[in-house]
């Protein structure tokens, strides 16, 4: 070979090597961006450990073994509370003590693992963010995760924590819960101390929480609200027909689920219907000041819209009173939503005393309607969660429909819970139950009692002619998976495998089904089957951490130690703080390398 040819070959090799390295860097960057192990839910990782367990015969702490996260409006000693704005973080010192609500939960036995993202200054109920990438909705990635406490909802929905805390003024907990398909509880106004929480609108602010499991939702409620365990049941379930008329999905898909569940559990006699707008119009005279005029200049009755208008004015007034001075002196870069709210018409501000009167009258009216044993049923949202980046969430029509629902509890101070009802058009849908102000224990007990039956009726109604859409194979597969999960919890491994197999038959491209079946095979000692299922799951989803962990366990038991170490190490690439993977990788490295 000539020197010229050798030189050309050497040059080509260096070019190829350079291209290869560049490709690796690009792929690594792309993978890092794509793999957000926490779906963008967290802004800070930390750890607050509960106190030691009391000595027997005293009972263990009620929240023992549970992990939780908090929205970045809660003070944690030694950490700056970010309030969703980097300028706020820059101009404020670390908290000198932890929020009372957080301390109460930690003292109850739960472990705090981090702070979650909120919309800027806790304002928007539809998420989005000028400064931070919004969390990804794990159940509908093309849809928003809601606001303001979207990070807390996402952390629960993806299973990173057992429950989480958020702040709800005009929907900051209820909306993300609806968007992410989890339970979200807004307690009665004033039921929990807001000490150590950055206020948005004190007369509307409440500390709420998210969970997937109604028993966890209830346990947290009994600790944070300092409630005793006393059973109660509803004797009046009131469906707000006018609210459901605003629903943009088939009404039967929601109403029939609730009514059939209530009939099955409590009897038909508990059910009744009302137009809550008409009821409030007759019981809250102050609302007439906010009625809109039609084209002829006459008053057009729209009580729920008027209630929503009063709520927004009250929130804006209180927010400006609290934070306008800081904004004026700091001149931070603000999201357009916050900036727009700060420019409220001064003539509208003059109506604040009327807004406060509406709030007081609405509480009296709702308490009179619901009494001690009534539940008001409304949609959480009238529409499906908006698509990411879509302008519909900021349109007047969309906002009006949403806030008309949310204002009922916010302006009355009543407690409300968002209950997931499966999906429609591949988007999570939900319903909300409202109980009187102070009826938090009653509402938590009602959710606990009804949740299982409600989920059963979701499937029953979907299959029936009451629904305008036939039950899809994906929904059937999800139902089979849930039955498999229940069997797994009851340690019925073979039964769980049967249900997971049914789910795979219905929808064979879902990595979770294979991974879950692998977990059941591991319990039975069927390591080859577990390895095969995990490999199938990984082929479908390269980011499935559980599949890598389970395949690593199966391979370790089969004696494939090198391959097992590789699985545990890759799990750590996806989730660097995973203790199971760290311990397993270190153990195998010491023994076999």
Q: List the structure tokens of 579.
A: 């203790």
**Contact present, 543 and 574 (Cβ < 8 Å):** yes
Q: Indicate left, alpha or beta for 272 from its phi (over 0: left) and psi (-120 to 50: alpha).
A: beta
Distance CA 16, CA 9 (A): 11
Distance CA 375, CA 414 (A): 11
Backbone angles phi, psi at 521, to 5 degrees: -60, -40
Residues of the chain with pLDDT under 70: 1-36, 128-129, 229-231, 289-301, 336-337, 339-350, 464-472, 475, 591-593
Q: Which of 192, 181, 159 is nearest to 66 (CA)?
A: 159
User: Per-residue pLDDT tens for 381-400?
Assistant: 999 999 988 887 778 888 88
**Contact present, 206 and 174 (Cβ < 8 Å):** no
Terminal Cα-to-Cα distance of the chain (whole angstroms)? 44
Backbone angles phi, psi at 217, to 5 degrees: -55, -45
How many CB atoms are closer than 10 A to CB 345?
9
Q: Which of 406, 7, 413 is nearest to 177 (CA)?
A: 406
Per-residue pLDDT, 26: 43
Per-residue pLDDT, 249: 83
Tell me, what DSSP letter sits at residue 54?
P
Query: pTM of the full predicted structure?
Result: 0.73
Per-residue pLDDT, 290: 62
Strand pairing partners for 427?
A: 424
Long-range Cβ pairs for the range 22-29 (8 Å, 24+): none
Tell me, what DSSP letter sits at residue 422?
E
Task: Tell me the C-alpha to C-alpha distance, in Å, between residue 67 and each of 102, 109, 211, 223.
Answer: 12, 9, 11, 14
Q: List the structure tokens of 520.
A: 């059941």
Task: Tell me the C-alpha to C-alpha distance, in Å, between residue 268 and each of 42, 236, 463, 480.
Answer: 45, 10, 22, 29
């Amino acid at each position: 070979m000539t020197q010229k040819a050798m030189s050309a070959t050497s040059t080509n090799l260096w070019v190829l090597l350079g291209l290869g390295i560049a490709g690796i860097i690009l792929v690594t960057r792309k993978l890092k961006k794509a793999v957000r192990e926490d779906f963008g839910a967290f802004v800070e990782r930390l750890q607050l450990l509960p106190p030691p367990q009391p000595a027997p015969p005293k009972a263990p702490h009620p929240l023992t073994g549970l992990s939780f996260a908090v929205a970045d409006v809660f003070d944690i000693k030694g950490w700056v509370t970010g309030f969703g704005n980097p300028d706020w973080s820059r101009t404020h010192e670390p908290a000198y003590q932890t929020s009372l609500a957080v301390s109460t939960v930690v003292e109850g036995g739960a472990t705090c693992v981090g702070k979650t993202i909120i919309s800027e200054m806790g304002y928007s109920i539809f998420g989005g963010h000028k400064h931070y990438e919004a969390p990804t909705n794990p159940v509908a990635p093309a849809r928003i995760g809601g606001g303001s406490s979207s990070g807390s909802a996402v952390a629960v929905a993806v299973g990173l924590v057992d429950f989480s805390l958020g702040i709800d003024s005009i929907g900051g907990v209820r909306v993300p819960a609806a968007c992410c398909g989890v339970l979200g509880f807004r307690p009665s106004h004033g039921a929990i101390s807001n000490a150590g929480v950055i206020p948005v609108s004190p007369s509307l602010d409440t500390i709420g929480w998210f969970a997937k499991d109604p028993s966890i939702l209830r346990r947290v409620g009994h600790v944070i609200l300092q409630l005793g365990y006393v059973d109660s049941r509803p004797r009046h379930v009131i469906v707000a027909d006018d609210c459901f008329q605003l629903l943009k999905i088939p009404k039967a898909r929601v109403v029939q689920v609730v009514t059939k569940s209530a009939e099955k559990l409590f009897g038909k006699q508990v059910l009744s219907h009302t137009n809550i707008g008409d009821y409030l119009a007759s019981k809250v005279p102050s609302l007439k000041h906010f009625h809109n005029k039609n084209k002829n200049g006459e008053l057009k009755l729209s009580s729920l819209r008027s209630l929503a208008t009063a709520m927004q004015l009250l929130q804006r007034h209180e927010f400006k009173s609290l934070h306008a001075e800081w904004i004026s002196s700091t001149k931070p870069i603000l999201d357009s939503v916050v900036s727009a709210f700060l420019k409220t018409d001064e003539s509208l501000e003059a109506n604040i005393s009327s807004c406060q009167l509406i709030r007081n009258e609405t509480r009296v009216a709702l308490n009179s309607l619901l009494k001690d044993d009534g539940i008001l049923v409304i949609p959480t949202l009238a529409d499906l969660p908006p698509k990411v980046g879509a302008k519909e969430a900021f349109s007047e029509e969309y906002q009006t429909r949403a806030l008309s629902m949310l204002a009922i509890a916010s302006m009355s101070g009543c407690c409300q819970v968002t209950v997931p009802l499966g999906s429609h058009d591949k988007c999570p849908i939900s319903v909300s139950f409202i109980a009187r102000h102070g009826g938090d224990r009653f509402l938590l007990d009602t959710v606990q009692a009804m949740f299982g039956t409600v989920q059963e009726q979701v499937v029953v109604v979907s299959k029936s002619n009451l629904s305008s859409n036939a039950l899809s194979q994906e929904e059937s597969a999800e139902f089979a998976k849930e039955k498999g999960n229940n069997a797994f919890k009851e340690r019925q491994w073979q039964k769980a495998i049967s249900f997971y197999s049914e789910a795979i038959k219905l929808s064979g491209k879902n990595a979770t089904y294979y991974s879950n079946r692998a977990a059941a095979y591991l319990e039975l000692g069927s390591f080859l089957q577990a390895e095969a299922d995990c490999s199938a799951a990984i082929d479908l989803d390269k980011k499935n951490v559980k599949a890598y962990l389970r395949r690593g366990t199966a391979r370790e038991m089969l004696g494939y130690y090198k391959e097992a170490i590789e699985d545990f190490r890759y799990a750590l690439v996806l989730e660097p703080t995973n203790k199971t993977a760290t311990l397993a990788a270190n153990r195998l490295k010491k023994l076999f390398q």
